[in-house]
């Protein structure tokens, strides 16, 4: 099955979630449910998160300028970081509200709340699936996926709690389930936040093993050693590498740079490779000698 393009995923995700927010506010006001109105405000923050991720995704496509030689690629890292922070704040707010409701339990209109939450599972779950494929290799898309998956999980918790409330009448079920779901989401969000902070601080992306990169370079024919190896993320999808290499010969230098650069790009999915060649104490081979 063909996966939807990121732009289509953002467009449909924002559209359907906006409709869901309007429905939540309408039903909440109609039945006097503050909880539904509050959840609508929470979903509004998720739509904002989708808008930020979409805007950042668009910015990464802009051409570089003389002042921004890499363009606006790092905006996707900032978007992933913001979405992780939004998720932490949202889950924290849910836990605080749930603890308050535990202290002063309130009766719940179980049937109506289950219906609205059931729609939320469909809307948020379908939106999350739009981002599922892209979130494997793009942290910005992963942030959008986490938002929608978290909301689907919260809605599922509400449905379970509403059903059990109808059977038992236990008013503490809803806040307890909300806390459990929020804690599960927080665990996943922590990983997203850690990855985003690492990329923002120019750490090596976790999908790349620096020692394997170093080993590939050092094992390449005519390479004596390498140093000043730097690997960092330009965006949530693009990686850059710079390295100084000491060669045993200066023969076929252009071919050497082209072949090693190609191998690094395709082996480790590195978009920008810059190699500086040095010769140190090694003497160039004589004409006719085989450099490989």
pLDDT in tens, 24-69: 788 777 766 556 666 676 777 778 888 888 888 888 888 888 888 8
Q: What is the DSSP string of 208-275?
A: --HHHHHHHHHHSTTEEEEEEEEEEESSSS-EEEEEEEEES--TTHHHHHHHHHHHHHHHHT-SEEEE
pLDDT in tens, 146-194: 878 887 887 787 787 778 777 777 777 777 877 887 787 788 788 888 8
Rounded Cα distance, 276 and 270, in Å = 16
How many residues are recorded in the chain? Answer: 292
Q: Report all structural domains of the chain as residue ranges with CATH numbers, in order of start.
A: 6-200 (1.20.1510.10), 210-278 (3.30.70.1350)
Q: Rounded to whole angstroms, what are the CA distances from 165 to 36, 153, 155?
A: 17, 18, 15
Rounded Cα distance, 270 and 239, in Å = 5
Range 270-285 burial, b when 16+ CB lie within 10 A, else e: beebebebeeeeeeee
**To which residue do tokens 């500086």 refer?**
276
Average pLDDT of the residues of the chain: 82
The edge-to-edge listing of strands for the beta sheet with 239-247 is 223-233, 239-247, 272-278
Write down the pTM of the prediction: 0.73
Rounded Cα distance, 66 and 230, in Å = 23
What count of other Cβ atoms lies within 10 Å of the Cβ of residue 225? Answer: 14
Average the pLDDT over 248-273 and give the result. Answer: 90
The whole-number pLDDT of residue 281 equals 62
């Amino acid at each position: 099955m063909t996966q939807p393009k990121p732009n289509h995923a953002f467009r449909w995700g924002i559209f359907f979630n906006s409709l869901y927010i309007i429905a939540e506010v309408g039903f909440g006001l109609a039945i006097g449910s503050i909880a539904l109105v509050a959840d609508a405000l929470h979903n509004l923050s998720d739509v904002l998160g989708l808008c930020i991720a979409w805007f950042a995704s668009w910015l990464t496509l802009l051409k570089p300028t003389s002042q921004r030689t890499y363009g606006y690629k790092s905006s996707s890292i900032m978007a992933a970081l913001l979405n992780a922070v939004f998720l932490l704040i949202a889950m924290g707010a849910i836990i605080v509200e749930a603890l308050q409701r535990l202290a002063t339990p309130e009766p719940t209109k179980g049937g109506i709340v289950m219906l609205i939450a059931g729609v939320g599972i469909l809307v948020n779950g379908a939106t999350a699936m739009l981002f599922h494929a892209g979130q494997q290799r793009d942290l910005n898309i992963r942030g959008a996926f986490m938002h929608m998956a978290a909301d689907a999980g919260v809605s599922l918790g509400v449905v379970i709690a509403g059903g059990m409330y109808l059977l038992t009448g236990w008013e503490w079920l809803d806040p307890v389930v909300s806390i459990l779901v929020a804690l599960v989401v927080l665990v996943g969000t922590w990983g997203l936040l850690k990855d985003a902070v690492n990329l923002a601080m120019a750490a090596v992306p976790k999908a790349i093993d620096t020692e394997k990169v170093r080993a590939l370079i050092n094992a390449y024919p005519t390479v004596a050693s390498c140093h000043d190896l730097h690997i960092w993320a330009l965006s949530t999808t693009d990686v850059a590498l710079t390295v100084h290499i000491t060669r045993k010969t200066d023969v076929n230098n252009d071919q050497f740079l082209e072949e090693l650069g190609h191998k690094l790009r395709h082996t480790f999915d590195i978009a920008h490779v810059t190699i500086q060649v040095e010769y140190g104490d090694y003497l160039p081979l004589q004409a006719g000698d085989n450099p490989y």
